[in-house]
Amino acid sequence: NAGVTQTPKFQVLKTGQSMTLQCAQDMNHNSMYWYRQDPGMGLRLIYYSASEGTTDKGEVPNGYNVSRLNKREFSLRLESAAPSQTSVYFCASSEAFTVGANVLTFGAGSRLTVL
Amino acid sequence: AQTVTQSQPEMSVQEAETVTLSCTYDTSESDYYLFWYKQPPSRQMILVIRQEAYKQQNATENRFSVNFQKAAKSFSLKISDSQLGDAAMYFCAYRSGGSNYKLTFGKGTLLTVNP
């Protein structure tokens, strides 16, 4: 009953440090996404991967990189963390992004604090 | 660009009563999908209900139903017989019916259920 698993759940970084958020899904979904959630802002798309081997920028990609390692895994990397990247990050997946209503399944979120 | 507006930052309801959460959206498209997601204190985003714009009939899922007014670009969520477990942040979201992957979220409504 795993669905979408994100690690770590919590992380504190200093400005300039790097880190990678890991995401894995076990539903054989084709598409995966990274969102960030900030107070009063809703969720905003950082990057997405429509299918294995492809990645594209979303609304707020600056300061991030992603890797679609295989069909199951989609990682988000902060190369040089900034306080503005303090947020809660959500990974999500869907069967496909061009078919039907594209219902997203979300992970539990990762709270990142950059000091 | 599409926008989603939730005009009620917070709402409260007595247990067993009915509450309606508002959502309006702005789009020039005729083919699209609308969603309500729930985010409880655990932070995980959970799909509550979805509506295809081409369907005139309002979607219903047990105690949850929507009032979809396409001409008015309104998509409200009604929760009947409210339960303590309904307490959460609720997000309205819009997705284009075309190949555009993007799911646009509103800023959310925090629902409190009073015993």
User: How confident is the model over A64-88, as pLDDT tens digits?
Assistant: 999 999 999 999 999 999 999 999 9
Nearest partner of B21 among B95, B86, B111, judged by Cα: B111
pLDDT score for A97: 62
Range with the poorest average pLDDT among B10-24, B35-49, B66-80: B35-49
Q: Which residue has the higher pLDDT, B41 or B63?
A: B63
Contact assessment for residue A86 and residue A113, using Cβ atoms and an 8 Å cutoff? yes
Both tokens of B3, joined, read: 């926008």
Contact assessment for residue A26 and residue A70, using Cβ atoms and an 8 Å cutoff? no
Cβ–Cβ gap B103/A107 under 8 Å: no
Mean pLDDT across A17-44 = 92
pLDDT score for A95: 83
**Residue A16 to residue A83: CA distance in whole angstroms:** 9
Mean pLDDT across A7-25 = 96
**Residue A95 to residue B89: CA distance in whole angstroms:** 25
pLDDT score for A99: 58
Phi, psi angle pair for B92, to nearest 5°: -90, 140
Which of A42, A103, A105 shows the shortest C-beta gap to B106?
A42
Integer CA distances (angstroms), B112 to A88, B11, B85, in order? 22, 6, 10
Chain A residue closest to B34 (CA)? A101
Integer CA distances (angstroms), B108 to A43, A50, A55, B51, B91, in order? 9, 26, 28, 18, 5
Both tokens of A50, joined, read: 């429509």
Residues of B with CB under 8 A from a CB of A: 4, 33, 35, 37, 42-47, 50, 52, 91, 95, 99, 101-103, 105-108
Query: Considering only CB atoms, which chain B residues are within 8 Å of A98?
Result: 99, 101
DSSP B3-65: EEE---SEEEEETTS-EEE--EEE-S-SSEEEEEEEE-TT---EEEEEEETT--SPPEETTEE
| Residue B106 to chain A, least CA–CA distance (Å) | 6
pLDDT score for A94: 87
| For residue B103, pLDDT beyond 90 | no
| For residue B78, pLDDT beyond 80 | yes
Burial of B16-44, coded b for 16+ CB within 10 Å and e otherwise, reads eeebebbbbbebeeeebbbbbbbbeeebb
Residues of A with CB under 8 A from a CB of B: 31, 40-45, 48, 50, 56, 58-59, 88, 90, 92, 97-98, 101-109
**Residue A42 to residue A36: CA distance in whole angstroms:** 8
pLDDT classification of A98: cutoffs 50, 70, 90: low
